[in-house]
Amino acid sequence: MKLELRGITKRFGALVANDHIDLVVQPGEIHCLLGENGAGKSTLMNVLYGLYDADEGEVLLDDEVVHFAGPGDAMAAGIGMVHQHFMLVPVFTVAENVMLGHEPTRGGGRLDLEAARAKVVEISERFGFHVDPDAIVEDLPVGVQQRVEIIKALSREAQVLIFDEPTAVLTPQETDELMGIMRQLKADGAAIVFITHKLREVREVADRITVVRRGAVVGEAKPGSSDAELASLMVGRSVELTVAKDAPRYSDAKLEVKDLEIVDPDGLVLVDDVSFTVRGGEVLVVAGVQGNGQTELADALLGLVTPSAGSITLDGTELVGRSVRDFLGQGIGFVPEDRGVDGLVGTFTVAENLILDRIYGPPFVKAGSLQLRARDEFARAAVEEFDIRTQGIDQPAGRLSGGNQQKVVLARELSRELRLFVACQPTRGVDVGSIEFIHKRIVATRDAGVPVIVVATELDEALALGDRILVMYRGRIVGIVPATTPRDVLGLMMAGIAPEGSEAA
C-alpha cells in the first residue's frame, strides 16, 4: 500500500509544528524521517495516525484521500505504529496484548484467546521473532517487548508501519536485530516509515531519506550520504561529529573507587563490587544499557546515595558518608542524568539556577543575603560563554529547550574550580548543534587536568568522548577497555559478555 502525505500543516497556536510537509512512502521501501528532537517528526506521525487533526493537507492511501478520526480508523486502514514508549499492558500476556482492542470472540461474546495465540505464533514464525504468546509482557526484555508491538501491528494486517524512535531503548545488538526485522518486513511488501535522529541507523536501512527541520522538509538525502552531510542538513549548518581531542596528558589528580556496593531499600544490589581509577586528564566513559547500575554509581560520586560498602577517594580524601554539600565542596562538578528533575528548578530563573549549588558563601551570598548584582553579572557572562539561548537571565529555566537547559547545568558546574567532573548522559535529548558544544566543553575540562567520568548509553558518545570505557551490566563491571575497542565487542559487553583478556570482570 502506498502512503502519501500532501501539504500537511499543523499549528499549535502561533507555532507551526508541521509546515506543508509532503511525503511519499512506497510499498517495499523504508523511508527515513530524519530530524532533531522537536523538528516535528512525531507531530507529523500523530497527524497521520489520527491523533491530531491537520490544519491543512491530506493523507492518501493508494491515491485515495482518507480521513482518520482516531487511531482506530488508521489501524483499520492498515496503518500500524510502533511507539517510542510501548503501548502494552505490562501484566497481560503477549497474546492478550496483541488482541487488545480488536478481541476475537466466539459465540456469546467469549474471548477467543486461542485465535490470538495462533496469530502470535503464526506471525512470530513467519518473521522469526521467537516470541512466546503466553509470556507476561513485563517479564520480557525491552527488545522483545518491541517485537510484541510489531506483532500487534501486523496482526491487524498493517501494510504501512511507522517506527517512532524505536532504537532509543535498545542495546546495539537489539538495534541490529530490529534493522533486520525492518528489512524483512520490507521484503514482505510493507511500507515503512522510520523516524529517528540517529545517523548511523539511517544509513544502514534507509531506501529514501527525508530530512525535517523546524517543522518543514528541508530536503531529501541519498542513502549513500555521509554522516556529516546528513547532520548538516538536519541542523542547518555544518557540524563536527567527531570530537577533536589529543592523547590524554595525565595530571596528578586521581579518583579511586574501590569495592563499591550499593543496595536499594528493598535489598536489591544495584552496584556490585565496582572498582576503578580515573586519572586527571582522562575521560572514563561508563557505558551500558540504561538501568544497569550506572545511575546509582554516578549518584554515589556526588553523595546522593550512600554505598553500603566500599570507598571513594578523591586525591586521597575519603568521601563516602559525607553530605552532598561536602562532595560539592571538594570540587566535584555533576551533571545529572535527568536535568529537568535533578539539574534545574524549572520555575526558577536562569540566573537563580546558575548559582543554585554555589550559595554557601561569597561571591553570591554574603551574610545570608543573596548578592543579586554578582549573580546577574555571572549569569550574563555564563549565558554569553555557553551560548545559552534565552530571552534573558530572568526567564524561567523550565521554558528553555532541552539543549539550552543542559547548557545552564553545564555552565553552573564548569564555572567552578573542579577536581572531578561527572556528567551523566550529557547529550540526551539535546539537539545535534548543542551536542557538539557540550562535547567540546567536556574535552576541554579533561585537558585542564580534571578527571572526567561520562555516563553514556549510546556507543557513539562513548567512543567519541572516552579514553577508556567501563561497561556495566547488572551492577557489575564487565570490563574496562580502551576506546579503540570495536563496536561489536562493546555491544556484547553491554549484554554482559566479557571479552577475552579484558582488564577486569
Cβ 171 to other proteins shortest distance, Å = 4
Q: Which of 73, 474, 499, 504 binds other proteins (CB under 8 A)?
A: 474
Handedness of CA 75, 79, 80, 83 (dihedral sign): negative
- Residue 343: burial class (beta carbons within 10 Å; 0-12, 13-18, 19+): buried
User: Could you give the residue ranges of the DSSP H alpha helices within 100-206?
Assistant: 113-127, 142-155, 172-187, 199-205
Which CB sits closer to other proteins, 153 or 289? Answer: 289
Q: Which residues of 82-116 are buried (b: 16+ CB within 10 A; e: fewer)?
A: bbeebebeeebbbbbbbbeeeeeeeeeeeeebeeb
Q: Which of 1, 340, 380, 504 binds other proteins (CB under 8 A)?
A: 340
Cβ 303 to other proteins shortest distance, Å = 9
360 touching other proteins, by CB under 8 A: yes
Which CB sits closer to other proteins, 83 or 254? Answer: 83
Q: Which of 86, 127, 250, 437 binds other proteins (CB under 8 A)?
A: 127
Question: Strand, helix or coil at 292?
Answer: coil
Which CB sits closer to other proteins, 246 or 266? Answer: 266
Q: Between residue 63 and residue 122, which ones bind other proteins under the rule CB under 8 A?
A: none
Residues of the chain by 3-state class (helix, strand, coil), percent to 5:
35, 25, 40
CA distances for 480 relative to 56, 488, 503, angstroms:
54, 15, 6
Interface map 289-328 toward other proteins (x if CB under 8 A): xxxxx-xx-----x-x------------------xxx-xx
Over its C-alpha atoms, the chain yields an Rg (Å, rounded) of: 25
208 touching other proteins, by CB under 8 A: no
Interface map 8-37 toward other proteins (x if CB under 8 A): ----xx-x-x------------------xx
For residue 299, the one-letter residue type is D
Provide the residue count of the chain.
505
Q: Which of 497, 502, 503, 504 binds other proteins (CB under 8 A)?
A: 497
| Residue count, binding to other proteins (CB under 8 A) | 88
Which CB sits closer to other proteins, 31 or 147? Answer: 147
Query: CA–CA separation, 83 vs 149, rounded Å?
Result: 8
- Only one of the segments 46-54, 98-106, 114-122, 313-321 lies at the binding site for other proteins (rule: CB under 8 A); that segment is 46-54
373 touching other proteins, by CB under 8 A: no
Q: Between residue 440 and residue 469, which ones bind other proteins under the rule CB under 8 A?
A: none
Q: Which of 74, 195, 400, 452 binds other proteins (CB under 8 A)?
A: 400
DSSP codes of every residue in 19-30: EEEEEEE-TTEE
Which CB sits closer to other proteins, 7 or 90? Answer: 90
Q: Which of 108, 252, 369, 484 binds other proteins (CB under 8 A)?
A: 369
Strands (E) across 358-505 are located at 365-366, 369-370, 420-424, 452-456, 468-473, 476-482
Lookup result for grid cell 551533571:
335
Q: Between residue 143 and residue 202, which ones bind other proteins under the rule CB under 8 A?
A: 143-144, 171, 173-174, 177, 180-181, 184
- Only one of the segments 63-71, 276-284, 331-339, 444-452 lies at the binding site for other proteins (rule: CB under 8 A); that segment is 331-339
